[in-house]
Amino acid sequence: MANPLHDALFAPHLGSERSFLAAAGGAGGTSYGEFLDTASRLAHVLADLGLTPGDRLVAQLEKSPMALALYAASVMTGVVYLPLNTAYTAAEMHYFLDDSGARLLVCDSGRAAALSPIAAGLGAKVLTMDANGAGGLRDLAAGKPGGFSPVDRGPNDLAALLYTSGTTGRSKGAMLSHANLLSNAEVLAAEWRFTGADVLLHALPIFHTHGLFVATNIALLTGATMIFLPRFDTDAVIAALPAATSMMGVPTFYTRLLDDPRFSHDLVAHMRLFTSGSAPLAAETHEQFQARTGHRILERYGMTETNMNTSNPYDGPRKAGTVGKPLPGVELKITDPETGATLPEGEIGVIEVRGPNVFQGYWKMPEKTAEEVRADGFFITGDLARTDEDGYVVIVGRAKDLIISGGYNIYPKEVELVLDELPGVLESAVIGVPHPDFGEAVVGILVPRKGAVLDEATILTEAGIRLARFKLPKRVVVVEALPRNTMGKVQKNLLRQSYAKSFA
């Protein structure tokens, strides 16, 4: 019998009293044994509800040890775990529940009234779980035994389905297998020298690859402890740093810390490692960080579809403005976007990657998979880059029309589709512009219908019924017409130039 993720991440820790999820001071919290005991009880609930291997479980949950245990329970039962951003609206949730064919939705009790009718209409059961773990799911779990025999799974069986927004405005479910997740955790743990002595400060959300897989799977694999903060809060992170050895963050974490005078050399002198990813880390931030703390942030590059692809070295030079070299086992090439031919060193093209980390394709979208994964297994990332003289990858832009704000991806098309439907709006263009806190921020440029008067507050309120708050424009501009080229295509580059200083 085998279950790759269970065998590598959970089995070694069954019954262990070692600390897994620590409170802010680095002590107390949940031991490995307690965590796996909870996960086993949850696994019994899932099995008793009739969920079978391959069924999808949607979790829209505040970050908590119980929410993390639900991921572990899904692995144990072979159920495919599908975590979703707590910011998603009911309309967005409808899409994910429907597209994934979810059998079970687990959500906060405060959201159950809004989501239950949607789930019921789609044939999914609903159970509640609050930030403190309380709710219908825990009540059911309380009566179950603490051990669970994991369901047999092969390396290519799915462990998770993570939705990632798409150019067309329709999100795609990236199918991630046991082997995809485990191979990446093994490589990263070794490359970044994680051991059971590490205390990882975890302030990321757990509904994305970064917080759920990169951070959590490495900790589980190596027996490390995580200081498990509910979210990134500068005060809480500064209070927790003295007990930590390492931290993983998006660039906004680091710019916020650098803005705080309490974030000093002495505060982090004992730290072993800071990593950054999910969005570009400005070379300036990297240098400021070193000047303040003496540490060089280790920047790496990944994607939902591929897990992590490249990393700056633990021991060698960590070059600001680069994402390092391909990880062991990952093949990377820079290709001509038109022809797919591999380009010589130094030329700018699209990053393509192949390896055990690369996903199994998009859920129920074979045509999308075929567009983005070549027959020989290389995945076309849509990121534009070149390699430098040492083979380090320098990301210079994106071939895809994507905005990355505070580490969250927003496809302009999805926002434009919602804006275009609002009363009084003739058409819209959504762009990303530089933002001091989020790296990039969404700006919506709207053209009113003849005679209509558009008001920013009303636009945002109405769009907010459909779209998660992080996708909403941070600024709305009303113009008479959008700039177009001779083919009639909106010239977003001109708009980006015009509004580049919106948040300067």
Could you tell me the two tokens for 280? 């570009």
Residue 405 interface partner, choices ligand MLC, ligand AMP, none, CB cut-off 5-8 Å depending on type: ligand MLC
Stretch that binds ligand MLC, among 201-209, 288-296, 317-325, 363-371 (CB under 6 A): 201-209
Cβ atoms 200, 246 nearer than 8 A: yes
Residue 252 interface partner, choices ligand MLC, ligand AMP, none, CB cut-off 5-8 Å depending on type: ligand MLC
Query: How far are the Cα atoms of 61, 114, 214, 278, 502 from residue 307, in angstroms, in the given order?
Result: 22, 33, 8, 11, 33
Task: Please say which residue, 150 or 407, places its beta carbon nearer to ligand AMP.
Answer: 407
First to last CA, the chain: 58
Does position 470 interact with ligand MLC (CB under 6 A)? The reply is yes
CB of 239 to ligand MLC, least distance (A): 16
Q: Using DSSP bridges, classify how beta strands 80-83 and 104-107 pair: parallel, antiparallel or unpaired.
A: unpaired
Please give the distance of CA 341 from its chain centroid, rounded to a whole number.
30
Does position 466 interact with ligand MLC (CB under 6 A)? The reply is no
Does position 63 interact with ligand MLC (CB under 6 A)? The reply is no
Cβ atoms 338, 314 nearer than 8 A: no
CB of 232 to ligand AMP, least distance (A): 16
Task: By CB under 6 A, name the one of 35, 194, 232, 499 that touches ligand MLC.
Answer: 232
Task: By CB under 6 A, name the one of 349, 406, 432, 473 that touches ligand MLC.
Answer: 406
Does position 250 interact with ligand MLC (CB under 6 A)? The reply is yes
DSSP element (H, E) containing 326:
strand 325-326
CA pair distance 412, 431, nearest whole angstrom: 6
Output the 3-class SS for 419-474: HHCCCCEEEEEEEEEEECCCEEEEEEEEEECCCCCCCHHHHHHHHHHHCCHHHCCC
CB of 435 to ligand AMP, least distance (A): 15
Report which residue type is found at 375.
A
Cβ atoms 29, 92 nearer than 8 A: no
Task: Please say which residue, 46 or 161, places its beta carbon nearer to ligand MLC.
Answer: 161
Stretch that binds ligand MLC, among 72-80, 202-210, 219-227, 411-419 (CB under 6 A): 202-210
Does position 278 interact with ligand MLC (CB under 6 A)? The reply is yes
Note the residue count of the chain: 504
Q: Which residues pair with 477 in a beta bridge?
A: 445
CB of 130 to ligand AMP, least distance (A): 27
CA pair distance 279, 267, nearest whole angstrom: 25
> What would the DSSP string read from start to end of 238-251?
HHHGGG-SEEEE-H
Residues 124-163 that bind ligand MLC (CB under 6 A): none
Please tell me the count of residues contacting ligand MLC according to CB under 6 A: 22
Task: Please say which residue, 469 or 484, places its beta carbon nearer to ligand MLC.
Answer: 469
Residue 96 interface partner, choices ligand MLC, ligand AMP, none, CB cut-off 5-8 Å depending on type: none
Q: Which residues bind ligand AMP (CB under 6 A)?
A: 164, 209, 277-280, 299, 301-304, 323, 381, 383, 395, 398, 404, 409
Does position 438 interact with ligand MLC (CB under 6 A)? The reply is yes
Which position has the token pair 């970064």?
Answer: 210
Does position 439 interact with ligand MLC (CB under 6 A)? The reply is no
Stretch that binds ligand MLC, among 76-84, 98-106, 107-115, 400-408 (CB under 6 A): 400-408
CB of 480 to ligand MLC, least distance (A): 28
Task: Please say which residue, 162 or 446, places its beta carbon nearer to ligand AMP.
Answer: 162
Does position 432 interact with ligand MLC (CB under 6 A)? The reply is no
CB of 112 to ligand MLC, least distance (A): 22
Q: Using DSSP bridges, classify how beta strands 125-128 and 104-107 pair: parallel, antiparallel or unpaired.
A: parallel
CB of 404 to ligand AMP, least distance (A): 6
DSSP element (H, E) containing 351:
strand 349-354
Torsion angle of alpha carbons 316, 320, 321, 324, nearest 10°? 10
Q: Which residues pair with 383 in a beta bridge?
A: 398
CB of 279 to ligand AMP, least distance (A): 5
Does position 303 interact with ligand MLC (CB under 6 A)? The reply is yes
Reference 225, options 235, 233, 215; nearest CA is 215
Residue 250 interface partner, choices ligand MLC, ligand AMP, none, CB cut-off 5-8 Å depending on type: ligand MLC
- C-beta neighbour count of 280 within 10 angstroms: 20
Task: By CB under 6 A, name the one of 302, 326, 355, 444 that touches ligand MLC.
Answer: 302
Q: Per-residue b/e over 57-68, b at no fewer than 16 CB within 10 Å?
A: bbbbbbbbbbbb
Does position 209 interact with ligand MLC (CB under 6 A)? The reply is yes
CA pair distance 284, 80, nearest whole angstrom: 40
Residue 323 interface partner, choices ligand MLC, ligand AMP, none, CB cut-off 5-8 Å depending on type: ligand AMP
What stretches of 1-124 adopt beta strand conformation (E)? 19-22, 30-31, 56-60, 80-83, 104-107
Reference 272, options 255, 295, 239, 253; nearest CA is 295
The residue of the chain with the least Cβ separation from ligand AMP equals 304
Task: By CB under 6 A, name the one of 150, 173, 205, 432 that touches ligand MLC.
Answer: 205
CB of 492 to ligand MLC, least distance (A): 19
CB of 481 to ligand MLC, least distance (A): 28
Residues near ligand MLC (CB under 6 A) are 204-205, 208-211, 231-232, 250, 252, 277-278, 302-304, 405-408, 438, 469-470
